[in-house]
């Protein structure tokens, strides 16, 4: 059986994963990413929660056309609309990396929809080391033309070195920079600082993309909630530490 199901939104298809029953948890993957990224941890939560994971536009089979623009507010609206198709009005939200920025937007602008927030390896308040090295706005200018075939293979190799899975395609990498070039740290910082929901923060000290100092600073600015830190696990603690995260989060989410 396929991990993903197909739904219809605005007369066009989108893809998602849903299983379990109980209080809903919405997972929002990063960029690049796909719903399958959360397969290990979501499976542990299905005994007590309804799990819903939409494939974000341009990734995980959902067409990029589902979002006319790729800014965070549009991506957040996409998540809310997909929830509506499944009859979900309020939930806990779990976001990874760029997905955590989407969670912060929903929590800030639609607080009635978000009960508790879990931010995993989130984009911090200011440009982090991965952002500064990648220079996404400049790179997008280089690849958004006929010469993209010269740059994308090299970028794909750099993503592998950074620890992303080998299944990432050149299309996914183009989508990363298409989204990143519209990203606003000013707007994102306001969203983070405007959050009022109980908020868990999860990170690894050896994250090659986001330095721990930036996440420690963010930890002091967010509302109260668990601060779960691992020495290893890179940018994907939800994968490498699924069992421990399930143990710590499941009790907190029920409280």
> pLDDT (tens digit, 9 = 90+) per residue, 4-25?
899 998 878 899 999 999 999 9
Q: Is the pLDDT of residue 176 over 90?
A: no
- For residues 46, 9, 33 and 25, what is the CA-based torsion angle, rounded to 10 degrees? -30
Give 165's pLDDT tier (boundaries 50, 70, 90).
low
Q: Where are the beta strands (DSSP E) in 37-189?
A: 49-54, 91-96, 114-120
Please tell me the predicted confidence (pLDDT) of residue 102.
Answer: 97
Average pLDDT, the chain: 89
Please tell me the predicted confidence (pLDDT) of residue 65.
Answer: 59
Token pair 């790729």 in the structure block, residue: 70
Better pLDDT: 188 or 138:
188
**CATH architecture of residue range(s) 5-128+188-254:** 3-Layer(aba) Sandwich (3.40)
Q: Is the pLDDT of residue 243 over 60?
A: yes
Please tell me the predicted confidence (pLDDT) of residue 143.
Answer: 79
Q: Give the SS3 label for residue 146.
A: coil
With a CB cutoff of 8 Å and minimum separation 6, the contacts of 171 are none
Range ranked top by mean pLDDT from 60-64, 142-146, 178-182: 178-182
Token pair 């991506």 in the structure block, residue: 75
DSSP secondary structure, 166-233, as one string: TT--HHHHHHHHHHHTT--HHHHHHHHHH--S-EEEEEETT-SSS-HHHHHHHHHHSPS--EEEESS-
Please tell me the predicted confidence (pLDDT) of residue 236.
Answer: 92
Q: Is the pTM of this model over 0.85?
A: yes
Work out the number of other CB atoms within 10 angstroms of the CB of residue 122: 30
Burial class (CB in 10 A: 0-12, 13-18, 19+), 210: buried
């Amino acid at each position: 059986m396929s991990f993903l199901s197909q739904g219809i939104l605005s007369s066009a298809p989108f893809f998602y994963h849903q299983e379990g029953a109980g209080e809903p948890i919405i997972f929002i993957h990063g960029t690049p990413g796909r719903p399958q990224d959360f397969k290990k941890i979501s499976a542990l939560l299905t005994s007590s929660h309804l799990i819903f994971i939409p494939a974000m536009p341009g990734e995980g089979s959902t067409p990029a056309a589902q979002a006319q623009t790729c800014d965070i507010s549009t991506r957040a609206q996409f998540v809310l609309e997909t929830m509506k198709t499944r009859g979900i009005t309020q939930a806990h939200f779990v976001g990874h990396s760029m997905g955590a920025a989407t969670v912060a937007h929903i929590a800030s602008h639609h607080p009635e929809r978000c009960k508790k927030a879990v931010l995993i390896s989130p984009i911090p308040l200011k440009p982090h080391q991965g952002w500064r090295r990648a220079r996404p706005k400049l790179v997008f200018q280089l690849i958004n033309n006929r010469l993209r075939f010269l740059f994308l293979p090299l970028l794909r190799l750099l993503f592998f070195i950074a620890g992303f899975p080998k299944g990432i395609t050149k299309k996914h990498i183009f989508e990363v920079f298409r989204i990143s070039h519209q990203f606003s740290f000013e707007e994102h910082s306001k969203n983070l600082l405007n959050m009022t929901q109980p908020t868990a923060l999860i990170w690894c000290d050896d994250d090659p993309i986001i330095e721990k100092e930036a996440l420690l600073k963010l930890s002091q600015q967010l509302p109260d909630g668990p601060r779960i830190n691992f020495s290893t696990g890179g940018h994907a603690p939800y994968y490498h530490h699924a069992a421990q995260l399930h143990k710590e989060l499941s009790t907190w989410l029920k409280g």
